[in-house]
Amino acid sequence: MLKRILAGAGLTIGVTVLAAPTASAAPDDNPFGPKDSTASFVSAFDPAAYGSASNKSLIISPFGTSEQIDCSSFHGQSWCTQNGQSLSAIRIPAGSSEWDYRVLYVYNPF
């Protein structure tokens, strides 16, 4: 009788161990950032910024767009950095609506 109980317990433990899902780490993707957003920027001194690239955000930085620009966003608030330094955002009106604007980011070395 004791052998049957021990065999049943061993079988139950064995099945539980084999059927249990393996642990997995949480994904590294933070949905709020920071994410590489360099492709969404154009230098304010680039003539394309006022033509073919007029849908991109402007940047004034000693690095232009040659260095990665990382942006984060949470609850409708966004912020960007380049080389670990913050970029100050300035909204420039681009139309007659409050929501029609273009953002100019300025590198802040301080």
Give yes or no for a contact between 103 and 89, defined as CB atoms under 8 angstroms apart: yes
Structure tokens at 97: 């609506």
Cα separation, 3 vs 20, in Å, equals 26
Closest CA to 53 of 62, 68, 43, 63: 43
Residue 89 in tokens? 């955002």
Parse the chain into domains and list their residue ranges.
Answer: 32-110
Token pair 């139950």 is at which residue? 12
- Distance in angstroms (rounded) separating the CA atoms of residues 71 and 88: 12
Per-residue pLDDT of the chain (110 residues; tens, 9 = 90+): 656 654 454 555 554 544 445 544 455 577 777 999 999 999 999 999 999 988 999 999 999 999 999 999 888 788 999 999 999 999 998 888 878 889 999 998 88
Write the single-letter amino acid at 67. Answer: E
pTM beyond cutoff 0.85: no
